[in-house]
Amino acid sequence: MGMTTHMSNENNESVTEPQADKLSDNAELKSQLDPLFIPDDNTVVTGALNKEKIAAIAAAGIEHVINMQPEEELDFDEKAEVEAHGMTYSHLPISGADDLKQLNLLEFDKILRQQHGRRVLMHCKSGNRVGACVALRQGWLRGRKMETAMKRGREHGLTGLEQEVHNRLLVPR
């Protein structure tokens, strides 16, 4: 999914050239999303969305949104807004540490596997719950070492739940 820019050559003919296609180079994302984590070329993690942010992520080429906020944290129909901008949507509510259980992690893994190779934005209120789920997925489901799982979690927004995730990773699944 490359973005293009139209320019004219020396004969004043219209020429289409590809623009930088990396999410990390996208100024609109950087200006609209806070916090903003871009752990790889196909993944963005941020906090709560609104209609303006959804328009910006659609313009940046995001193809799928994974919302981890529970219903009580939402104040508009996020699914309808995301789909109105041509993106697909998954909702996996994670209210806090009590929801960081294997059943939810298996669902998270399933969503990510279904979206493999697509540009995905994951969010909760701050990115912390997303990072927690990424770390637990790495440790429990991918068999990564503690330090690797925690590093990946931090790259995806893990902050306040760091000790809880660490403790959970000590218990094999």
- Enter the tokens of residue 60: 């940046």
Separation of alpha carbons 74 and 84, rounded Å: 17
Separation of alpha carbons 117 and 32, rounded Å: 24
- Enter the tokens of residue 61: 């080429």
Which SS3 state, helix, strand or coil, does residue 138 take?
A: helix
Asked if 138 contacts 149 with a C-beta cutoff of 8 angstroms, the reply is yes
What are the pLDDT digits (tens) for 21-67? 789 898 989 999 999 999 999 999 999 999 999 999 999 999 999 99
| 31-43: b (≥16 Cβ within 10 Å) or e | ebbeebbbbeebb
Which amino acid makes up residue 123?
H
Residue 6 predicted with pLDDT over 80: no
Q: Where are the domains of the chain?
A: 20-127
Kindly report whether the global pTM for this prediction surpasses the value 0.85. Answer: yes
Q: Which of 65, 62, 63 is nearest to 74 (CA)?
A: 65
Kindly give the interhelix angle for 128-136 and 102-114, rounded to the nearest 10 degrees: 90
CATH of 20-127, one of 3.10.180.10, 3.90.190.10, 1.10.620.20, 1.10.8.870: 3.90.190.10
What are the pLDDT digits (tens) for 74-108? 999 999 999 999 999 999 999 999 999 999 999 99
